[in-house]
Chains A and B, each alone.
Chain A
């Protein structure tokens, strides 16, 4: 079945450092790919998404490019802030089903220190 693998955390960075969180996927078709973020004590918020190969999703300075050849969707940000500390989830869904079933990775905790 479909699956998502993302790097284990925590990832600890200083403010203004460059961030990469790796995400790779396994899917039989052409899934849509997502990054969700969970701030402490809150639910999940959609951060960005990409629906086809070579699409780049971006939001709040974060970017991720849908790479079909490497089955990857790595999350990047050029300069992190303390407020970016959160858990980041990579996910996929098969857009051809009658409903949206998200398959999540296990999440990567990001800790940014001043």
Chain B
């Protein structure tokens, strides 16, 4: 069966520090991968998606970047965090056929102080 894991689960980072959140998927190949953010009191917003290695699309302009160095690995990064980057970050995957369901990881709580 397919599984998705992301880490760390929780982190507190000072303003201006770098960020790296990692996500891996097991049990499938060539998945579509996604990063979502849930800011306090708001819904979920798609940040990035990837349909293959090295292929990244950004949905909204922001202080973050994403990379996909391997087929089942998706990384969310920032060189310098802002207070507004605080939130709950969710990695997700789906099959590469239209109509496939999206499955989410456990999420990572980021607090920028």
Contact of B102 among A42, A102, A105, A107 (CB under 8 A): A102
B103 pairs with A46, CB closer than 8 A: yes
Contact of A101 among B42, B46, B103 (CB under 8 A): B46
**Segment from A10-18, A60-68, A74-82, A91-99 that makes contact with B:** A91-99
User: 1/0 per residue B59-88: CB within 8 Å of A?
Assistant: 100000000000000000000000000000
- Asked if B112 CB lies within 8 Å of chain A CBs, one says no
B105 pairs with A43, CB closer than 8 A: yes
B44 pairs with A89, CB closer than 8 A: yes
Query: Assuming A44-B90, A95-B98, A99-B94, is B44 touching A104 (CB within 8 A)?
Result: yes
Q: How far is the CA of A109 from the CA of B103 in the complex (A)?
A: 21
Which secondary structure dominates chain A's binding surface?
loop
Residue of B nearest to A36 (CB): B104
A95 pairs with B43, CB closer than 8 A: no
Sorting the interface of chain B by its residue count into under 10, 10 to 19, 20 to 34 or 35 or more gives: 20 to 34
Number of A-B contacts (CB under 8 A): 54
Interface residues in B1-49 by Cβ distance below 8 A to A read 32, 42-44, 46, 49
Number of interface residues of A (CB under 8 A): 24
Contact of B32 among A42, A100, A106 (CB under 8 A): A100
25 interchain pairs, CB-CB under 8 A: A32-B99, A36-B104, A42-B106, A43-B107, A44-B44, A44-B104, A44-B107, A46-B101, A46-B102, A46-B103, A49-B101, A93-B102, A95-B98, A95-B99, A98-B51, A99-B32, A99-B49, A100-B99, A100-B100, A100-B101, A101-B46, A104-B44, A105-B43, A106-B42, A106-B43
Instruction: Taking A43-B90, A44-B44, A95-B99 as given, write out 13 further A-B residue pairs in contact, using a Cβ cutoff of 8 Å, ordered by the A residue number.
Output: A34-B101, A43-B104, A89-B44, A95-B98, A96-B98, A97-B98, A99-B49, A100-B98, A100-B100, A101-B49, A102-B46, A102-B102, A104-B44
Residues of B bordering A, CB below 8 Å: 32, 42-44, 46, 49, 51, 59, 90, 94, 96, 98-107
Residues of A bordering B, CB below 8 Å: 32, 34, 36, 42-46, 49, 51, 89, 93, 95-102, 104-107
